[in-house]
Amino acid sequence: MAQRGGSAGGRAEAAGGGYETLVAAWYCVRILLGRLAHPLFDLPADTRFVRLGSQTDEKVDDVNILTSDHGTLFVNVKRSVGLTTGEESPLAKTIDQFVRQYKSASDHTSEAIRGRGLDPARDRFVLATRTTVPSNIKGALTRLLRGLRDQSDKNLLSELTLNGDEIEVAGVVETHLRRSWQAAYGAQPTASDLGALLRLIHLQFIDVEAGEADRLRAMDDLRGQILTDPTEAESAFSQLVMHCERLRADQSGANTSTLLTTLAQATLHLQATPDYRADIAALRTWTTRRLAIASRFTHLIDRDPTSKIDRAAWPGLASAAGSGSVLLIGDPGAGKSGLAYRLAESELATSKDVIFIPVDMLTVETLAGFRAELGIYPDSPGTRKSCLRISPKAIPVVP
């Protein structure tokens, strides 16, 4: 039954803020998973979440997610929401924010989607709440929104109702929509106006508090795909929560790189994130092939281990390379290539990660050509830009 209740306030509001941060941390895990994470909300299967913003300047500002196809998820987080008729109720406030965000996009004042309106193929309005919400929200409203997306000839939820619960839900939601639209636009919406906005709305039921299912699944993802030490999963999720608390306070954002930095600074043991594993394998293969000819630079007699050349500069170079960046210079024929090859080999021998790129062997002139030479390719046009970063140490060498 619809109620007229307003905001819970007090402790409930504080708990809602904590829930918002937990939801943001859950999305951070999806960003780290990259292409391994299902994109949700009927987005294309190859869509990835690439950046999170918290408490932004958008009208829907709890969590904003940038996707790999330059779409945006505007996520409104409510720890509890019911089918309430009051203008200050969580449901009314959520719908009002969706309407104002819709207008901001159509007026081209939204920073998240500059220069365009909302695109139903890649943009979403999301109401994130717990699975304990009333059945008329979790059941009837979910069915009505899905039905509207499936039937292009309909524009109103009230055109799809089949029972008393659905009739009540449609009436409350459309009343809130019309009131908010009138306040934002100064005129009543048409049926097509409401239909276009409603088709953007998705509900997400997510339980991320201590011991709850979605939090446990997120920690399983961290354990299996992000961490080398599975016992650190709970600590890793806690670090993401603390990071999101800071983002919320600073009205800031995070991407894969900053999230990995946060986890690394907490001395957690990380493996390469899924999106970069193929690139790393390609770089290792390329480096191995280049180093296969190292003996011609490091030995007097090719492939004769007893003829290794010991250059006087070697101890100093090895020491300097272990403490920071190094630029190796010298006259032609002084032995720079031999030292460079030996450095790469010695680093690999101690199980360090090495990228060895002797540029005198490259015949490429463009970044695309360089990627092709190394065997690194984007997943699809306009999505992932390949990265030459590898940790903990990368040694590009110019003989």
83-104 pLDDT, tens per residue? 999 999 999 999 999 999 999 9
Token output for 51:
């950046």
Whether residue 224 is contained in a domain is answered as no
Q: Are 29 and 48 in contact (CB under 8 A)?
A: no
- Please state the length of the chain: 399
Residues 57, 149 within the same domain = yes
Most confident among 121-135, 342-356, 377-391 (mean pLDDT): 121-135
Average pLDDT on 130-136 reads 95
Cα Rg of the chain, angstroms: 27
Whether residue 172 is contained in a domain is answered as yes
Whether residue 257 is contained in a domain is answered as no
Residues 342, 197 within the same domain = no
Annotate 186-243 with three-state secondary structure. Answer: CCCCCHHHHHHHHCCEEEEECCCCCCCHHHHHHHHHHHHHHECCHHHHHHHHHHHHHH
Residues 158, 35 within the same domain = yes
Going through the chain in order, the beta strands assigned E by DSSP cover 49-54, 63-67, 72-77, 124-129, 201-205, 253-255
Q: What burial letters (b/e) apply to 79-94, b meaning 16+ CB within 10 Å?
A: bbbbbbebeebbbbbb
3-state secondary structure of 396: coil
170, 186, 205 - which closes a domain: 205
Lowest mean pLDDT among 80-89, 229-238, 317-326, 366-375: 366-375
Residues 197, 281 within the same domain = no
CA distance 397 to 348: 14
Residues 282, 191 within the same domain = no
Whether residue 245 is contained in a domain is answered as no
CA distance 55 to 64: 8
- For residue 351, pLDDT beyond 60: yes
Contacts of 384 (CB under 8 A, 6+ apart): 35, 48, 68, 275, 378
Average pLDDT on 299-324 reads 79
Residues 294, 186 within the same domain = no
- Type of residue at 188: Q
pLDDT of residue 379: 52
pLDDT bucket at 1, cuts 50 / 70 / 90: low
Whether residue 162 is contained in a domain is answered as yes
Average pLDDT on 140-151 reads 97
Q: What is the number of structural domains in the chain?
A: 2
Residues 370, 282 within the same domain = yes
pLDDT of residue 378: 61
pLDDT bucket at 2, cuts 50 / 70 / 90: low
User: How many C-beta neighbours within 10 Å does residue 391 have?
Assistant: 12
Whether residue 306 is contained in a domain is answered as yes
3-state secondary structure of 255: strand
pLDDT of residue 283: 85
Place of tokens 């139903």: 120
Residues 43, 139 within the same domain = yes
Percent of the chain's residues with pLDDT above 90: 61
- For residue 391, pLDDT beyond 60: no
pLDDT bucket at 393, cuts 50 / 70 / 90: very low
205, 223, 250 - which closes a domain: 205
Residues 100, 199 within the same domain = yes
End-to-end CA distance of the chain: 76
Lowest mean pLDDT among 10-14, 72-76, 77-81: 10-14
336 or 203, greater pLDDT: 203
Residues 199, 285 within the same domain = no
Token output for 36:
């391994």
pLDDT of residue 152: 93
Average pLDDT on 325-350 reads 82
pLDDT bucket at 333, cuts 50 / 70 / 90: confident
Place of tokens 């979403």: 124
pLDDT of residue 268: 95
Whether residue 399 is contained in a domain is answered as no
pLDDT bucket at 315, cuts 50 / 70 / 90: confident
- For residue 248, pLDDT beyond 90: yes
Contacts of 26 (CB under 8 A, 6+ apart): 206, 208, 214, 215, 218
CA distance 168 to 162: 11
- Type of residue at 153: D
Residues 338, 199 within the same domain = no
- For residue 12, pLDDT beyond 80: no
Place of tokens 């983002």: 247
Average pLDDT on 237-257 reads 95
pLDDT of residue 299: 75
Q: Which domain holds residue 296?
A: 274-374
Average pLDDT on 27-35 reads 96
Residues 315, 179 within the same domain = no
- For residue 269, pLDDT beyond 90: yes
Token output for 212:
């709850």
Instruction: Work out the mean pLDDT of the chain and round it to a whole number.
Output: 86
Whether residue 232 is contained in a domain is answered as no
